[in-house]
Amino acid sequence: MFNRAVSRLSRKRPPSEINDGEGHPSSSHQTLKGTSKWATSLENLLEDPEGVKRFREFLKKEFSEENVLFWLACEEFKKTQGKKQMQEKAKEIYMTFLSSKASSQVNVEGQSRLSETILETPHPLMFQKLQDQIFNLMKYDSYSRFLKSDIFLNHKKSEEQEENSPEAQTAAKRASRIYNT
């Protein structure tokens, strides 16, 4: 019994795959939105376009916006179809973020760097190791500072003010009356 419970806990599943006992998404994840959801994980932040926008704004001030831009470019690269398009996109990512002459060079370990020759035979996961390094750098460095930043806190405050506005409360009361009758 204990081993089964530990096994279940050790499985890594994204929040979107967590269900209640009846196979419905867990209600704790349904109710979180905006800054509340961003604060739960970097993954949740990066799934939300507004979250990415605010995180980029923060990273720009920290002079490390290239990290999230690289991560996003790698995510798009994984969806690329066709060898020719993949070669073009791989070269663009390499020249923008990884080359010694890159305009927005990311800080990855030396031995992890790719040589230009690998760009001739691209595959969807060719940047995965580097992307993981940058993700971890953001997760354990920039993300925690972002959650304490004025950008995040001001956005959170404006969300809370919006939720507490008379218009939002009236809409909630109407919805409550509709569903409780």
What is the CATH classification number for the domain harbouring 110?
A: 1.10.167.10
Residue 114 lies in a domain: yes
Would you call 63 helix, strand, or coil by DSSP? Answer: coil
Indicate the number of domains in the chain: 1
The strand pairing partners of 19, in sequence order, are 25
Residue 167 lies in a domain: no
Residue 120 lies in a domain: yes
Q: Is the pLDDT of residue 61 over 90?
A: yes
Residue 91 lies in a domain: yes
Q: pLDDT (tens digit, 9 = 90+) per residue, 109-145?
A: 865 567 778 888 999 999 999 999 999 999 999 999 9
Per-residue confidence (pLDDT) for residue 155, from 0 to 100: 94
Q: Is the pLDDT of residue 73 over 90?
A: yes
Residue 17 lies in a domain: no
Write out the residue range of the structural domain in which residue 80 sits: 42-159
Residue 48 lies in a domain: yes
Q: pLDDT (tens digit, 9 = 90+) per residue, 75-101?
A: 999 999 999 999 999 999 999 999 888
Q: Which residue from 74, 76, 70 is spatially nearest to 102, judged by alpha carbons?
A: 70
Residue 11 lies in a domain: no
Sign of the alpha-carbon torsion through 66, 71, 76, 81? positive
